[in-house]
Amino acid sequence: MPPEDEETLAYADIALGISGVALLVSGYYRATMYGKGWEFYANEPLFWAKMTALGIFGALSLFPTITIIKRSVTLRTDPDSWQPMSENLASRIVSILNAELSALLFIPLLASTMSRGIGYMKDFPTEVVGPVIFGFITFGACYKYVTDAFSWREDWEMNYMDDNNY
């Protein structure tokens, strides 16, 4: 991928991030001020499943975003050390984007099912259990993909480090 295409990829990632934040803000207002109100959503297990799918989607996007930012910074600050994206890294990003799309497909399905009241449990402590499960899965996935992004090494970097006894 030439540097110009990587720059376009960075702008596309910025647009995805902005649209994700807009989606999050509009969802917050719908759950708290409009629609059926927070009492309905807090007791709806499918709402928390939808939030978990959204959290997984967001966590999955961290690896490509961090990788794209690191590569863009290298391209702008030290173009001589910039290397084209390896097949291994491209394959990893494609697999993560496919997983993101899979998580994204569940969100409208869960939203339409939830808005019809399917699975509503007034007496079950969903308002406690839901956020705990959501937080555990989302923060675990965030930790994994941020760690992966910052510890990623290209094949040529590993070979260089091995040759120089790092």
- Per-residue pLDDT of 24-76, as tens digits, reads 888 888 888 887 788 888 888 888 888 999 999 999 999 999 999 998 888 88
**What per-residue string of b and e applies to 24-56 under the rule 16 or more CB within 10 Å gives b?**
eeebeeebeeeeeeeebbbbbbbbbbbbbbbbb
Q: What is the DSSP letter of 91?
A: H
Residue 63: inside a domain: yes
Q: How confident is the model at residue 136 (pLDDT cuts 50, 70, 90)?
A: very high
Give the per-residue pLDDT at 65: 92
Decide which of 13 and 35 is more confident: 13
Residue 43: inside a domain: yes
Residue 164: inside a domain: no
pTM for the predicted model, two decimal places: 0.79
Q: Measure CA of the first residue to CA of the last residue in the chain; give whole Å.
A: 29
Q: Helix, strand or coil for residue 36?
A: coil
User: What residues contact 10, with CB distance under 8 A and at least 6 apart?
Assistant: 68, 69, 72
Residue 165: inside a domain: no
Q: Mean of the per-residue pLDDT values for the chain?
A: 84
Q: Whole domain around residue 11: which residue ranges?
A: 3-158
- Distance separating alpha carbons of residues 110 and 85, to the nearest angstrom: 36
When computed from its CA atoms, the radius of gyration of the chain, rounded to whole angstroms, is 20
pLDDT tens for 71-91 read 888 888 888 888 888 888 888
Q: What is the DSSP letter of 142?
A: H
- Distance separating alpha carbons of residues 66 and 134, to the nearest angstrom: 23
Residue 166: inside a domain: no
Please state the domain count of the chain. Answer: 1
Residue 56: inside a domain: yes
C-alpha dihedral sign at 150, 66, 90, 6 = negative
Residue 112: inside a domain: yes
In angstroms, the Cα distances linking 45 to 131, 132, 134 are 10, 12, 11
